[in-house]
Amino acid sequence: MQISARGDYAVRAALSLATAYPRLLSTQAIAAEQDMPRKFLEAVLADLRRAGVVRAQRGAEGGYTLARPPREVTVGAVLRAVEGPLAGVRGLRPEETSYEGAAENLPGLWVAVRAAVRRVVDEVSLAEIVSGRLPAHVRRLTALPDAWEPR
C-alpha cells in the first residue's frame, strides 16, 4: 500500500482536528502545526468535507472540526475520502480481477491484501492515535522483528 502526500496530509490534518475537537481550527492553524502548504491542505479539507469526515464553518470565527467524535473516525475513512478505495489492481477492485493460467488464484491474494490493510486502518480511530493507545493487534504488528526494516 502506498500512502500519497494527499493521504498523509489528510490523516495529519484529521489528527490535528481530533486533538482540538470539538473546537474549530483554521486552515492556517492546521497548516502551521503540521508544516503543510495551506493551498494543498484546503483541497484536502474540501475532500474530507465532501465525504462527511469534517464540518466547515465560515466567518471570522470559522474553521474546521470533525463531523463525529475522534473515537468514531477511523484512519480508513480519512484515507478513502481523499484516495478512494484502499486497494486497487490496475484501477480495479481486488474482487473484480480475473486471470487465467498460473495466475488464476491471484484475486484471492489481492482480496487478502485489502483485508489486511482494512484490519489496520478501519480498526484504528483518530482518538487512539492521538492518545498513543493503538489496538493490541496493531501494536503487535509494529513489534514484529522486521516491521521497521525496509524491503
Asked whether residue 147 is assigned to any structural domain, the reply reads no
Give per-residue pLDDT as tens, 41-76: 999 999 999 999 999 999 888 899 999 999 999 999
Burial (Cβ within 10 Å: 0-12, 13-18, ≥19) of residue 94? buried
| Domain residue limits at 7 | 3-140
Instruction: Report the CATH number at residue 79.
Output: 1.10.10.10
CA dist 86 and 3 (Å) reads 10
Asked whether residue 150 is assigned to any structural domain, the reply reads no
Asked whether residue 149 is assigned to any structural domain, the reply reads no
pTM: 0.91
Give per-residue pLDDT as tens, 19-30: 999 999 999 999
Our count of domains for the chain comes to 1
